[in-house]
Structure 1
């Protein structure tokens, strides 16, 4: 499956929709997109419902973006992780410090508060 990242303005935050595999090949594109949004000062929700795979490099990209957003006191959340992807976040403990929501409304409300 191809990798694609789309940005959408949503209420008081930016929604980043990811589709496909997040791996060593696609990580640079994902990192650039997340960094660009954070650097303009927007709270960020990452919609992962169409992510089919996430390896350690993808996980590191998300963790790095969360850290960057936190340093700038910006909201950052993930939404709609598929079970296989969610398992990676759970096994590594990342789900303990990056907020993960089931619905877009929950995530956007949380980062915009």
Structure 2
């Protein structure tokens, strides 16, 4: 990793990579036959606050076990951590995190939110059957 003061032939570092010139965040709730899957992508930050609250309310109302797919998360701040804590507290079942990238795992460990969730290393997508398909 280098900063804007790095001396390389092409000049200072450019803003690129996860969390710097990242993609906008998105939240999708997919209702399955046996669980609700919340798919997070891009930058999960304060800009997604309203969508994260809506996803929490929707998943809570459905009442099925909740899985959070974080595979495409490029950045997460305290808004994302608060979302996961809120989900774990409100859910009737223990929340599962699937396909968690290293930077999100780090946040789960540092904040100890990971103790409230089940972090699963792999996910068999064939097990998840969306309702209506």
Fold conserved between structures, TM > 0.5? yes
| Structure 2: runs of 5 or more not aligned | 1-22, 129-133
- Tell which has more relative contact order, 1 or 2 (C-alpha 8 A, sep 6+): 1
Q: CA deviation at 1:11?
A: 4.2
User: Secondary structure of the residue that 1:103 maps to in structure 2?
Assistant: coil
Q: CA deviation at 1:13?
A: 0.5
User: Paired residue for 1:84?
Assistant: 103
User: Paired residue for 1:95?
Assistant: 114
User: Paired residue for 1:104?
Assistant: 123
User: Paired residue for 2:56?
Assistant: 34
Higher-Rg structure is 2
User: Paired residue for 2:78?
Assistant: 56
More helix by share: 1
Return the TM-score normalized by structure 2.
0.70
Provide the C-alpha distance between the structure 2 equivalents of 1:102 and 1:10, rounded to a whole number of angstroms: 20
Provide the C-alpha distance between the structure 2 equivalents of 1:44 and 1:79, rounded to a whole number of angstroms: 10
User: Secondary structure of the residue that 2:24 maps to in structure 1?
Assistant: coil
More strand by share: 1
Decide whether the 8 Å contact of 1:31 with 1:65 is kept in 2: no
The answer to whether structure 1 residue 3 and structure 2 residue 25 are counterparts is yes
Q: CA deviation at 1:47?
A: 0.2
